[in-house]
Amino acid sequence: MVHDRSMMDVTNSATPIDKPRPDWLRWTSLLLAALGAADSIYLTWIKAQRETALFCAPGGGCDIVNASPYSELAGIPIAVFGLGLYLLLATLLLMENRWAYGRLAVFGLALTGTLYSAYLTYLELAVIHALCPYCVMSALLITALFVLALIRLRPSTAD
């Protein structure tokens, strides 16, 4: 039985497994980390300038949360720690292909950030009795990053 090799190569090269799939989960995570960093920078600036945040009423939830003793840790605004977390996540997302544990590190940091954010949200609701929409946005962003990191941990046929 004679096989035409050129015909076989054409049919086999068109299989979808040979084409790398776009890593949209990683790029979405990177976008979320960038939005979280921007939110943290803005919250840090608001805290440093003692300004009222945009779209927040003077003396409202943002000001109450920002003036609470829970808005700082060892004299450093919590938003600075959030900025560090988002920047570290973005760096890991950009470089994770060069490190065997990149995805796992993103997952661990996102999990830690989500748990701490849940604690801060609890403080806003149960102790401070005020909500800052920028803090809520950060909580949603880090939770979304955690969910994406969890999804990205599962094995893929394209990996």
Q: Please report the pLDDT score of residue 104 as a whole number.
A: 93
Query: How do residues 71-91 score in pLDDT, each as one tens digit?
Result: 999 999 999 999 999 999 999
Q: In terms of CATH architecture, what is 43-153?
A: Up-down Bundle (1.20)
Which three-class secondary structure state does DSSP give residue 73?
strand
Q: Which of 34, 35, 26, 29 is nearest to 97 (CA)?
A: 26
**Domain-wise residue ranges, the chain:** 43-153
Q: Please report the pLDDT score of residue 129 as a whole number.
A: 94
Give the HSE-up count for residue 91: Cα atoms under 13 Å, Cβ half-sphere.
Answer: 7
Which three-class secondary structure state does DSSP give residue 131?
coil
Q: Please report the pLDDT score of residue 10 as a whole number.
A: 46
What are the residue ranges in the chain where pLDDT is below 70?
Answer: 1-22, 156-159
- Consecutive H or E run containing 50: none
Q: Please report the pLDDT score of residue 3 as a whole number.
A: 53
